[in-house]
Amino acid sequence: MSGPAHPQPADNERRAQLLHLRVGAAALFGFAALGVVLESLHAFKAPWYLGVAGETRRFLFTLAHAHGIGLGLVNLGLAAALPLLPRRLPAAASACLVAGTLLVPAGFFAGGLYAHGGDPGLGALLVPPGALLVLIALGLVLRAALARDGG
């Protein structure tokens, strides 16, 4: 056997740290790469990106890039802060943050891909539930951070 049937809290904390480190690093890499692509589209004056209909698309893609970078940094910050929390972080916090990190930028990006005139595509409907998941995660992190030692 490789270990106990029920992982110890330290094992769960280590797994959560690695999860947020990986998600944060992947988000930073992916959304920085998206930023390079967006700058290239701008540099080469791609009509699909810069034309009149592209204004909404450009705005939504920029929002996807910015939110992806920001949420990647939040994941990295949480990975670094986990050992400092006086109370163990509920697993729901990690799940909500990871899901929100995927849904918010994906919603902005999909909304930009299928933008119609000045309106985003239906993909933008992913943003509000993603934002709610991020807020739930941050609330759970705050609760764990404000707990008394050993609580």
Check residue 4 and give its pLDDT: 55
Is pLDDT above 90 for 1? no
Whole-angstrom Cα distance, residue 53 to residue 66?
21
Residue 81 main-chain phi, psi, to 5 deg: -85, -20
Q: Are 99 and 135 in contact (CB under 8 A)?
A: no
Mean pLDDT across the stretch 17-34?
A: 98
The residue type of 48 is W
The residue with tokens 């909404």 is 56
Share the mean pLDDT of the chain: 91
pTM score, whole prediction = 0.90
Mean pLDDT across the stretch 60-86?
A: 97
Q: Are 82 and 52 in contact (CB under 8 A)?
A: no
Residue 63's nearest CA partner among 98, 129, 107, 126 is 107
- CA 146 to chain centroid, in Å, comes to 23
- Residue 64 neighbours by CB under 8 Å, 6+ apart: 31, 34, 105, 106, 107, 108, 109, 112
Check residue 44 and give its pLDDT: 92
Quick: pLDDT tens for 8-19.
667 889 999 999
Check residue 27 and give its pLDDT: 98
Whole-angstrom Cα distance, residue 111 to residue 123?
4
The residue with tokens 């404000």 is 146
